[in-house]
Amino acid sequence: MSDLLQKRVSNKKGHFCLLNFSSSTECPVLIKKTNYPTIYQISVKSGVKATVIFADVSRIKIEAIVDKDAEFNITTVISETNQVELNSEVKLKGRGAMVNQNIIALSSNQENISINCILNHLAPQTYGRIISRRVLAGSSQSTLYGMLKIAPGAYSTDTYLSDKVILIGDKARAESVPSLEILTDEVKASHGATIGKMSPDELFYLRSRGLSLSDAQTLLLRAFIQPVLTGVDSNIVEHLLKKLNKL
Amino acid sequence: MNSLKSKMSPSKKILPIGYKYGFHDKVKSVFELPHGLTKKTVEAISFYKSEPDWMKERRLQALGIFKNMPLPTWGADLSRINFDNICYYLKPSDRKETSWRDVPPKIRRTFTKLGIPQAEARFLAGAGAQYDSEAVYHNLKEEWVKQGVIFLDMDSALREYPDLVKQYFGTVVPIKDNKLAALNSAVWSGGSFVYVPKGVQVTVPLQAYFRLNAQNMGQFERTLIIAEEGSFVNYVEGCTAPVYSLDSLHCAVVEIIAKPYARVRYTTMQNWSNDVYNLVTKRAVAYEGATVEWIDGNFGSQVTMKYPSVILKGRGSRADILSLAFAGRGQHQDAGGKAIHLASDTSSNIISKSVAQKGGRTSYRGLLKVVPQISGIKSKIKCDALLMDAESRSDTYPTMKIGSNDTQIEHEATVSRLGEEQLFYLRSRGLSENEAASLIVSGFIEPIAKELPLEYAVELNKLIQLEMEGSVG
Amino acid sequence: MPNLLIIKNLRVKVDNKEIIHGLNLNIKLGEVHALLGPNGSGKSTLALVLMGHPSYTIVGGSIKLLGKNISKLLPEQRATLGIFLAFQYPQTVAGLVVEDFLRSAYNAQQVSKKLSPLNVNLFKKLLEPELKLLHIKPEFLQRNLNEGFSGGEKKRLEILQLIVLRPKLVILDETDSGLDVDALKLVADDVNRLIGPDMGVLVITHYQRLLHYLKPTHVHVMMSGRIAESGDKNLAKKVEKSGYEQFKIKDVTI
């Protein structure tokens, strides 16, 4: 990791953390287990590629600004804590800025997970993706608000949100509110969401090839969360898969 | 039934129920009603209509609720409505006619271009005498009476069938539902009452112009449709032609009760002109095996807030909501649909197509709710928005609240502009830029347009062509 | 035979890059010109420019159709003057029924000729014999424009349009790409039926397979934005034998 400036300022209302990426890092920055509410201010400078992975978040707020031709990859893994609040706003400030935001939430018990993400396209030719995969079991509840905003003049923007939720058991609850606010016309903007249980057809197919119900479910769940695991540390992935098995 | 069909020739134009009277600054009325909304106003309205006491009580109750409720903070901007500056009731004999000359030229031109006959155009614009549809109406009326179908204006229905009205009025949209529903409940006047007995299939669409006179039209219509078990009715209202109005607020309520295995389709095409705030609460309850279809077309008006809803109360019931919105300069169409699944094996399908141009704004606002402990739920929501230029705006705010896992739910939304290559392809075949744009836009809304009665579909295409003029390039 | 298309010293830019550098081409009525060239030579650009695509800017030279300068005309005006482009990638327009589209295009031609447009029934009658000849089922006309069409179906629809609109200058842009031999033969037969003294054809092709079935009267090789060599069908054989390398223009100044 080169040129990474980290500054911790403690204040009564929780932690405040500044991440300033002024040159590309091949190595993702891993932020683990924040026990107290923390605000992350992230700045990705012109032409820089940066990846940040948050694991085991509880209450965090992310404010990121991505400059001209910069690429910001952010993955948030939610799997352990009971009360989770994720608020994030990524501003694509410079022409050609890109963001890939992945969210994965697995909960098996009484977790209450609230996710609020905004992608704000302020310049032309910017690119944004929010890909969210949530697996909720037990009596967990989760809400996701995903807002894609395109400001006037941000033409040739390409933005997309995909929120998929699998509910296991009959007590889990999910809410999905993907939204669009588009103020310029020459753009590609869309979103898609699906909520439901695992596909009975897919399960049947796997079982017809000899897998037990439990193995089939695990396989499908793994495939389900695959798109959001790119770049995530293998330890974390293993941990997640173990948790999946237990669901 | 065939003889009836021949009387309903497809070329007959449909009149809107939204015939508006010109409220000029001071209207001399024998019956002096002050502007503004007070207990006296409400009592006077009830007295004037000779209503039973229970309705008067309801109105007063609603008034109280209206005064205490805040306006919704979401949706379009309603801050400019001045509730005190509205005349809430005017006797029919005191209504003033606008002169045809005073109708804005743009409106008069639109009527011509849409091919609306002059007499009807005058009526629509409030410049003509009442449209006499008695002759056409008469035979159909006889047929309905034989079958036990009731189709009346709401005021008459309250007089002739008070018990029936009392049983269902306010059961789908309670007084407390929202501020505007409370307002409507306090000052409602006009609207339709439809009752279809068990097993009766009303195959000819009930079109609102069959209600005879202008008494039934107004700002605060209240419509109630009751479809008994196994019945079918298709109710159509509105007109794609612009309705000239000096009223600033149109606040209607529509309640539909679809009993087991009944099917109700309610089609509305509204094209308010001027500064109309068009705020409507439309809700249906579907019992076991019933189907409710809302087809909602919103053009014109300055602001529209309308979210036809279906409460899927009975097992196996189904909701189909098709919403079309066109917003031009200075307009905000905030529309969508709500499907609330309270029972198992229910399904809902929402399609929203919107077009925003010349700085207009279209917003889709929807709700899909599935309560816990139910199973076999299927829902598909598709919202597509077309932005014609860089000044216009499109928003999508769908909410999904899912409490059960035995569901198959899909939601998809896209925003796009007119394809350059598509335009070029059509132009390379001799079509002008406007013609090409019209065809593309017509194709865009086709999944909804194909559900409209033929006359509407034809008018709709003509309207699109008019709207496209000067919007491309 | 009279001149149909005269292109003189044409220079065309797109995105500030000059793609066509001084192209000259003369097509007379009744002639079939084949335009060969490697990818990137500017062949499809020429087709789009002739049709008036807004993305391309003419920065030099002239294009005359039947003596009339068309460089400033809109695409729809060129269409009614008699130019037809069979696209390499025809566009899909959801919700637009093929029959309605064809009728609109036909009526645009009628109106420009000061003739009366045809209504739905009359137009249907007009199409019937053509559908039979092309072996196109009537259901095909009820589909949405190019929606879910295979490559072959798209090309056939282009040809059907060609037959209905009876243009003077026909430009076939890589009509053979993506088609198997049988489909190719069908397309070629259809075009051959139409070729006559009232029409001039410009066949743009990379692979020349189409030229086995459509007999060109003139063959040109386009390299780097201009015509490198012109000849007859022997030129096509030369290309088939030894490729495009031999035509490379050594001293191209851009």
Digitized pLDDT (tens) for each residue of chain B, 473 residues in all:
333 333 333 322 222 222 333 222 223 333 445 567 888 888 888 888 889 999 999 999 999 999 898 888 888 888 777 777 666 665 555 555 556 666 667 666 666 766 666 655 665 555 544 444 444 555 666 777 888 999 888 888 999 999 999 999 999 999 989 999 999 999 898 888 999 999 999 887 777 644 333 444 467 889 999 999 999 999 988 766 566 665 678 889 999 999 999 999 999 988 876 678 889 999 999 999 999 999 999 888 889 999 999 999 999 999 999 999 999 888 999 999 999 999 999 999 999 999 999 899 999 999 999 999 999 999 999 999 999 888 899 999 999 999 888 899 999 998 888 888 889 999 999 999 988 999 999 999 998 988 887 777 877 888 888 777 765 54
Taking residues A102-118, what's their average pLDDT? 90
CB atoms B430 and C90 under 8 Å: no
Separation between Cα atoms, residue B411 and residue C94, nearest integer Å: 20
pLDDT the model gives residue B110: 67
Evaluate whether residue B148 is within a structural domain: yes
Evaluate whether residue B212 is within a structural domain: yes
pLDDT the model gives residue B6: 30
CB atoms A152 and B390 under 8 Å: yes
Evaluate whether residue B121 is within a structural domain: yes
Evaluate whether residue B105 is within a structural domain: yes
Separation between Cα atoms, residue B344 and residue B376, nearest integer Å: 6
pLDDT the model gives residue B208: 63
- b/e code B10-48 from CB counts within 10 Å (16+ = b): eeebbbbbbbbbbbeeeeeeeeebeeebeeebbebbbee
Q: Rounded to a whole number, what is the distance in Å from the CA of B365 to chain C's nearest CA?
A: 24
| A187 touches B at CB < 8 Å | yes
How many domains, in total, are found in chain C? 1
Cα angle B280, B286, B290; round to 5: 130
Separation between Cα atoms, residue A123 and residue B78, nearest integer Å: 31
**Residue range C65-111, pLDDT digits in tens:** 999 999 999 888 899 899 999 988 888 888 888 998 899 889 888 98
Q: Which of C14, C91, C166 is the best mutation test for B, with the most CBs of B within 10 A?
A: C91
For residue C102, what are the domain limits? 3-247
With contacts defined as CB-CB under 8 Å, which chain B residues touch C87? 425, 428
pLDDT the model gives residue B244: 60
CB atoms A196 and B405 under 8 Å: yes
Token look-up 């993907």 returns A178
Strands C57-65 and B263-272 come out as unpaired
Range in A21-25, A182-186, B203-207 the model is least confident about: B203-207
With contacts defined as CB-CB under 8 Å, which chain A residues touch B406? 170, 196-197
**Amino acid residing at A36:** Y
CB atoms A174 and B402 under 8 Å: yes
For residue B136, what are the domain limits? 2-24+42-306
Evaluate whether residue C94 is within a structural domain: yes
Contact B220, B188 (CB under 8 A): yes
CB-CB: which of B419, B431, B439 is closest to C76?
B431
Helix B179-187, helix B53-68: angle, nearest 10: 150
How many domains, in total, are found in chain B? 2
Evaluate whether residue B408 is within a structural domain: no
Q: Rounded to a whole number, what is the distance in Å from the CA of B415 to chain C's nearest CA?
A: 15
Separation between Cα atoms, residue C69 and residue C78, nearest integer Å: 11
- Extract the tokens encoding C254: 């851009």
Contact A119, A128 (CB under 8 A): yes
Evaluate whether residue B338 is within a structural domain: no
How many other CB atoms are there within 10 angstroms of residue C249's CB atom? Answer: 13
Question: Residues of chain C with pLDDT > 90: what percent?
Answer: 48
Strands C226-231 and C218-223 come out as antiparallel
CB-CB: which of B389, B397, B401 is closest to A175?
B401
Higher pLDDT: B25 or C186? It is C186
Query: Going by C-beta distance under 8 Å and a sequence separation of 6 or more, which residues neighbour residue C175?
Result: C86, C88, C155, C158, C187, C203, C205, C210
Cα A184 to its chain centre, rounded Å, is 26
Separation between Cα atoms, residue B362 and residue C105, nearest integer Å: 32
Reference B132, options B214, B189, B192; nearest CA is B214
Evaluate whether residue C54 is within a structural domain: yes
Cα angle A44, A46, A49; round to 5: 55
Domain boundary among B291, B306, B321: B306
CB atoms B396 and A180 under 8 Å: yes
User: How many residues are recorded in chain B?
Assistant: 473
Evaluate whether residue C72 is within a structural domain: yes
Separation between Cα atoms, residue C194 and residue B206, nearest integer Å: 53
**Residue range B409-443, pLDDT digits in tens:** 999 998 888 888 889 999 999 999 988 999 999 99
Evaluate whether residue B100 is within a structural domain: yes
pLDDT the model gives residue A205: 79
Q: What are phi and psi of A155, to 5 degrees?
A: -75, 165
- b/e code A112-126 from CB counts within 10 Å (16+ = b): bbbbbbbbbbbbbbb
Has residue A203 got a pLDDT over 90? Answer: no
How many Cα neighbours within 13 Å face the side chain of B320?
A: 13
With contacts defined as CB-CB under 8 Å, which chain C residues touch B425? 87, 90-91, 93
Range in A104-113, A231-240, B290-299, C39-48 the model is least confident about: A231-240
Contact A233, A69 (CB under 8 A): no
Q: What are phi and psi of B319, to 5 degrees?
A: -125, 135
Question: Residues of chain B with pLDDT > 70: what percent?
Answer: 75
- Extract the tokens encoding B167: 């049983």
**Residue range B173-207, pLDDT digits in tens:** 999 899 999 999 998 988 889 999 999 998 877 77
Separation between Cα atoms, residue B125 and residue B134, nearest integer Å: 20
Evaluate whether residue C252 is within a structural domain: no
Separation between Cα atoms, residue C237 and residue C223, nearest integer Å: 17
pLDDT band at A16 (very low <50, low <70, confident <90, very high): confident
Higher pLDDT: A21 or B454? It is A21
Has residue A124 got a pLDDT over 90? Answer: yes
Give the residue on B whose Cα is nearest the Cα of A193.
B411
DSSP designation for C246: G
Which residues on chain C place their C-beta less than 8 Å from a C-beta of chain B?
A: 51-55, 74-76, 78-80, 84-85, 87, 90-96, 100-101, 104-105, 108-109, 112, 144-145, 161, 165
Tell whether B53 and B181 lie within a shared domain: yes
Domain boundary among B281, B306, B331: B306
Could you tell me the residue ranges of all domains in chain A? 4-198
Separation between Cα atoms, residue B221 and residue A25, nearest integer Å: 64
Has residue C35 got a pLDDT over 80? Answer: yes
Separation between Cα atoms, residue A84 and residue B407, nearest integer Å: 25
| Sign of the dihedral through C-alpha B31, B35, B39, B45 | positive
| CA distances, A12 to each of A6, A38, C113, C222 (Å) | 19, 11, 81, 74
Contact B236, B275 (CB under 8 A): no
**Residue range A30-82, pLDDT digits in tens:** 887 666 778 899 999 999 999 999 988 888 899 999 999 999 999 999 987 77
Residue C109: give its domain's CATH number.
3.40.50.300
Evaluate whether residue C237 is within a structural domain: yes
DSSP string of B49-98, one letter each residue:
TT--HHHHHHHHHHHHHHHHSPPPSSSS--TT--GGG------GGGPPPP
- Extract the tokens encoding B347: 């399904």
Evaluate whether residue C142 is within a structural domain: yes
Evaluate whether residue C53 is within a structural domain: yes
Alpha-carbon dihedral of residues B275, B278, B279, B281, nearest 10 degrees?
A: 170
Q: Rounded to a whole number, what is the distance in Å from the CA of B181 to chain C's nearest CA?
A: 37
pTM over 0.80: no
